Amino acid sequence: MLYRSAISRQACFANRAFSAQRFASTKSLRDTLKEIIPAKQEQLKKLKAEHGDTVVGEVKVENIIGGMRGLKAMLWEASVLDPVEGIRFHGLSIPDCQKVLPAAPGGKEIIPESMLWLLLTGQVPSAEQTLALSQELAAKGALPKFVEDLVDSFPRTLHPMTQLGMGVAALNHDSAFQAAYERGMKKPEYWVHTLEDCIDLIARLPALAARIYRNVYAPGTPLAPVDGSLDLVGNYANMLGYGENHSLTEYLRLYIALHGDHEGGNASAHAAHLVGSTLADPYLSYSAALFALAGPLHGLANQEVLRWQMAMQAELGADITEEKIEAYLWKTLKSGQVVPGYGHGVLRNPDPRFIALQEFCDGKPELKASPIIQLVNQTFKVAPGVLKAHGKTKNPYPNVDATSGCVLYHYGLTEFKYYTVIFGVSRALGALTQLVWARALGLPLERPKSMSMDALSKFIADSK
């Protein structure tokens, strides 16, 4: 209760700030950014000049050999991940976003276009601004013919994430940033052309991802064209062949909005930032993010959860009790495996994204009655206690993957290998918007210093 009260108090301050910042509903995304960027540039200039020598943290040997985990060493404007509170997008928690961000016409869940606007500008868009952005994305959503041909040439056995990364990289053929850079442009113009590429790429991702799905799982099935009257996810669901499933479409809107950004240190966001710091165009930068996302320690987690849940369901049978789940959890742990969907590199409380998806399930009778969702809920009651008793998990609570893939499976999207592609469509919202800000703020090439074990040993000996 104290945890929720603290969030509520901070949300009030955040909402007041947003009320003060909100611009007229007719202002375009580009005009909004043109007004915001100079203030942000001045803020960065002041930080450098007045606080450049302020110590933020300290580097320990465990940071160097532990994957830089927890090391504060990266500027990321859109979101901050707190171990206790979870993610905040420009100060707004997930419950805040659900209250203030526009939904799709006739829908209830956050529309990703409104999250995209928030991540880019730090402001809550009006319904009119969100609709205008939806229309722009739909107008730019068709794939070039050569990319269609490229994707159609891939063997069906090629992993969907490999196909997605290759397709995104190929789209750089039409990069506005690359063309402007080759012509010669001034640094203050970098963000303008980067924004154009980012909007174009986000617009085209549903068509690319849907084409991959069709080719791999339903070859020969007609692929619906981009519909100018639909929002980004409406088109995506329609091209996947699930356009009539309104509950799945609403779920995909929520899923993609909530997965859009999770600060900059995660592997996919960091990969996009690192490659982007070389001034590679957004297509090449985001293809790197997708290949990071394809790793089993990152984007494949939700499919692993579903596999584990289904294996438990098959072993325990129809009469699943909390006692049986507890025994299965201990069996998993004693075999040397982790419990999929539990624990997080940063979070030390239940993931707010998990809570939001659970609330979505609670509002859908068909999901409340679903055996796989019921098993998710039963596991949530038991797993934290078992993991605490086990004593080797820093965070014994569920993350978003504990339920995200299970809902997709219930609604008929049962192709496990494809789940990470949906994650890839989602993560573009945050990773690409931060490329715009990296160019607007003139952030430098990322180049950390590395050390060998011998150099570390010498440093430790010399410091004694």
Q: Provide the residue ranges of all domains of the chain, joining segments of one domain with +.
A: 136-299+432-440, 301-410
**CA–CA distance, 285 with 140 (Å, rounded to integer):** 20
Contact by Cβ (8 Å): 299, 404: no
Interhelix angle 419-440/267-276, rounded to 10 degrees, is: 40
Contacts of residue 449, Cβ cutoff 8 Å, sequence gap at least 6: none
- Across residues 321-345, what is the average pLDDT? 93
Contact by Cβ (8 Å): 446, 269: no
Question: Could you tell me the two tokens for 449?
Answer: 């210093």
pLDDT at 409 (0 to 100): 94
- Residue 333, pLDDT > 80, answer yes
* Nearest partner of 427 among 209, 262, 250, judged by Cα: 262
User: Which of 15-29, 32-46, 199-213, 421-435 shows the lowest per-residue confidence on average (mean pLDDT)?
Assistant: 15-29
- Across residues 66-88, what is the average pLDDT? 92
- Across residues 278-306, what is the average pLDDT? 93
**CA–CA distance, 103 with 376 (Å, rounded to integer):** 27
Contacts of residue 72, Cβ cutoff 8 Å, sequence gap at least 6: 56, 57
Contact by Cβ (8 Å): 448, 280: no
pLDDT at 36 (0 to 100): 96
Question: Could you tell me the two tokens for 45?
Answer: 């200039």
Q: What pLDDT digit, counting tens, does each position of 108-137 carry?
A: 999 999 999 999 999 999 999 999 999 999
pLDDT at 313 (0 to 100): 94
- Across residues 67-83, what is the average pLDDT? 92
Question: Could you tell me the two tokens for 162?
Answer: 């490999």
pLDDT at 233 (0 to 100): 98
Architecture of domain 301-410: Orthogonal Bundle (1.10)
Cα distances (Å, whole numbers) of residue 280 to 128, 190, 271: 33, 11, 12
pLDDT at 16 (0 to 100): 43
Residues belonging to the chain: 464
Active-site residue set: 298, 344, 401
Establish whether domains 136-299+432-440 and 301-410 are of one fold: no
Specify the 3-state DSSP secondary structure of 342.
strand
- Residue 57 pLDDT level (bands cut at 50, 70, 90): confident
- Across residues 333-341, what is the average pLDDT? 93
| CA-derived radius of gyration, the chain | 22
- Across residues 85-89, what is the average pLDDT? 94
- Residue 303 pLDDT level (bands cut at 50, 70, 90): confident
Mean pLDDT of the chain: 92
pLDDT at 25 (0 to 100): 64
Question: Could you tell me the two tokens for 51?
Answer: 């606080």
- Residue 145, pLDDT > 70, answer yes
415 burial type by CB count under 10 A (0-12 exposed, 13-18 middle, 19+ buried): middle
- Across residues 74-85, what is the average pLDDT? 93
Q: Supply the DSSP symbol for 56.
A: -
- Residue 259 pLDDT level (bands cut at 50, 70, 90): very high
Tally Cβ neighbours within 10 Å of residue 217.
17
**CA–CA distance, 383 with 154 (Å, rounded to integer):** 41
Backbone angles phi, psi at 80, to 5 degrees: -130, 130
- Residue 26, pLDDT > 80, answer no
User: Which of 21-25, 55-59, 275-279 shows the lowest per-residue confidence on average (mean pLDDT)?
Assistant: 21-25
Specify the CATH number for 136-299+432-440; select among 3.40.50.2300, 1.10.580.10, 3.40.50.11260, 3.90.1530.10: 1.10.580.10
- Residue 331, pLDDT > 70, answer yes
Backbone angles phi, psi at 90, to 5 degrees: 50, 45
- Residue 181, pLDDT > 80, answer yes
Alpha helices in 52-144 (DSSP H): 61-65, 94-100, 112-121, 127-139
